[in-house]
Each structure stands twice: as structure tokens, then as C-alpha cells.
Amino acid sequence: MQVLVNPHCAGGRGGRKWQVLAPSLQQRYPGIRCQIIPEESALQPAVIRALHQGERTFIAAGGDGTVNRLLNVLLNAPVDNAELTLGAIGLGSSNDFHKPFRAAAILQGVPLRIDSAHSYPCDVIQIRCFQDGQMQQTYGIINASIGIAARANARYNSRGRLLRAIQQISVDAAILLSVLRTIATYHNFPCRITQNQNAAQEYRLTNLGVIKNPHFGGQLCYDTPVACDDGWLTVNLCEGMSRLQTLGILGRLYRHHFAGRPHTASWQSTRLTVSSARQFDLEIDGEVLQTSNVEFRVLPQKIRCCA
């Protein structure tokens, strides 16, 4: 088992969290191997070296973005994906990959998914989108979003001075402030959504969630059916909402209620495309990029994940 530590996660607090956790982790799991990854470009070489040494279980010690980067390195590695197991140590801000949290898998206040003996196959979201005129392909394992959630993630990730100060006190408060600021300035935009082989539908998009895990953005959570290994993408749409209606659905998501509300729709699909005449924010496992055209596909049981 190879642990790859991102000390820069959680707004730079990941390194301090790791220093507190590491002694207890080594005591509970004596054979565990740990490596600090000082910068993102060092992750792939570290994984390739470990693969050449026969390692097949990799643990992302960081936030959801760290999990996503490790997932992408593993799925692009020159080995059979079926041989690989992905796990995580939640040093990040939201740690949605670990939710719902389990008391037995918490150490020093940090959630763990490193039980490789009880690993199981999980679906992966394949994302193909245009950036700078070229088709790019990436993967997600938690969820993806377009609209308010993606814009709020981008705002949160930018970590202005006020957000950084609030984050030191409460991550959930910093996330909520990012969402409220985004709602105050957000405008619905026209887009076309196509699911599977059906005809495209026109929407004025408020928010779109493409999920394999219902948890997102701290305490927010959908109540629509979803499983990590069912071979489906669960899609949750908010369209044509006013700011007041958006605040209302935000409050419901904090109470884990979504399905059946006005201006919402939910369905399951294996393939989904979204296109617009304008650029929009696309969030994948907490990381945000910009595009005007994206395709989502489910890759059933693509990689094993630790319990």
C-alpha cells in the first residue's frame, strides 16, 4: 500500500493535518509506505515508480481533488485497471469521497478509506470536453457539476482573503459564503442537453449535477437514487430558477431533500452531453475548468476502491 500525501490541500493546512495523523497511522498500519508529493507534477512519476516495484494499491492523502488526480494517473497508467485499487485519507476540506462518514474509519478526526482487503469495484465518470480547441479526456469518481455549484467551487478554490480567514474557523461557513455570493451574481444560461441517444432538449441552466455520490459541497446532499457500482449516472437538473427559488433548493439540499421540487428534474443515464454557445464552469470532483461542450459517460466498475 502506497500513500501519496498532498501537503497543500485544505488551503495549505494538509501538511499540518498529516503531521498530527502520521504517527497514529503508522502505529495502526505498521507496513504502510508514505511519500510526500511536494507538487502536482511529482505525482505521476511517484506512481509509475511504485507500479514498477509491484505496488497496486494507492492511497490519496488529501482532499477530493487529490483523489481525482490520483484516479486519473492510475487510469492512464500502463497497467490493467482491474489490478488497481484506489483509497484515500481525508485531509481536505469537504472529503466527499469518504461520505457518509463511518465512525470506525475515523482516526485523529480524519476519515480513512484504506481497507484494501474489503475493496470493491466502482464506476467511473468519463468526461470528454473541448479546451483551447482540443478534445480533452478526464475522469471523476464522486460527481461533476455545471452551473451554480461549479461556479461556487471555482470561487471557493480561488480562496480570497476573506474566504481564507473564514475557512480557518469553519470550512462549512466558507463553502456557504461561496455559494451565497455565487447565487447573488449568477445568471441562468441557455444550453442543450442530450441523454443517451435521445433528441437534445433546450434549458436555461441553473445547476446540473452528474453524480456517483450524493454528497457535495460540505453538508449538501441529494436524495436521488445513486450507487457507486450500478452502471448509471444519476443526473439532477435545476433549470430556470430565480434567486429566491435557488436559495430554497439550497436549503432543501442542506436537509438532504431535492427530488420532486418545481424547476427540477432527475433521471439516470449512461451518457450525457451538454453544449452551449458560451463557456461555462465544469466541476469534476471539486476541480473546475471551463468549456462549452462536454460529454459524460459511465465506465462500469472501472477501478476497485478501498472500504
Q: What is the mean pLDDT of each run of 10 residues along the chain (307 residues)?
A: 97 94 96 96 98 98 98 98 98 96 96 98 98 93 98 89 84 91 97 94 99 95 97 98 98 97 98 98 97 98 98
Boundary residue ending a domain (91, 118, 145): 118
User: Which residue range(s) make up the domain with 232?
Assistant: 124-301
Shared domain check, 100 and 9: yes
**pTM of the full structure:** 0.95
**Element at 166 (helix H, strand E):** helix 161-169
Domain check: are 99 and 164 in the same one?
A: no
Q: Are residues 109 and 147 in the same domain?
A: no
Q: How many CB atoms lie within 10 A of CB 253?
A: 24
Report if residue 306 sits inside a domain: no
Give the CATH number of the domain where residue 8 resides.
3.40.50.10330
**What CATH number did the domain enclosing 287 receive?**
2.60.200.40
Q: How far is CA 264 from CA 92, 188, 208, 246, 258, in A?
A: 30, 14, 10, 11, 8
Which of 70, 112, 115 lies closest to 91 in space, CA to CA? Answer: 112
Residue where one domain finishes, among candidates 89, 118, 147 = 118
How many Å apart are CA 208 and CA 48, to the nearest integer? 35
Residue 307 in domain: no
State whether 256 and 141 are in the same domain.
Answer: yes
Summarize pLDDT for 160-205 with one digit per residue, the tens.
888 888 888 888 899 999 999 999 999 999 999 999 989 999 999 9
C-alpha cell, 65: 481533488
Q: How many structural domains are present in the chain?
A: 2
In a shared domain, residues 194 and 237: yes
> pLDDT tens across 118-169, in order?
999 999 999 999 888 889 999 999 999 999 999 999 999 887 888 888 888 8
DSSP annotation of 199 = P
Distance CA 128, CA 243 (A): 30
Which of 85, 103, 118 corresponds to the end of one domain? Answer: 118
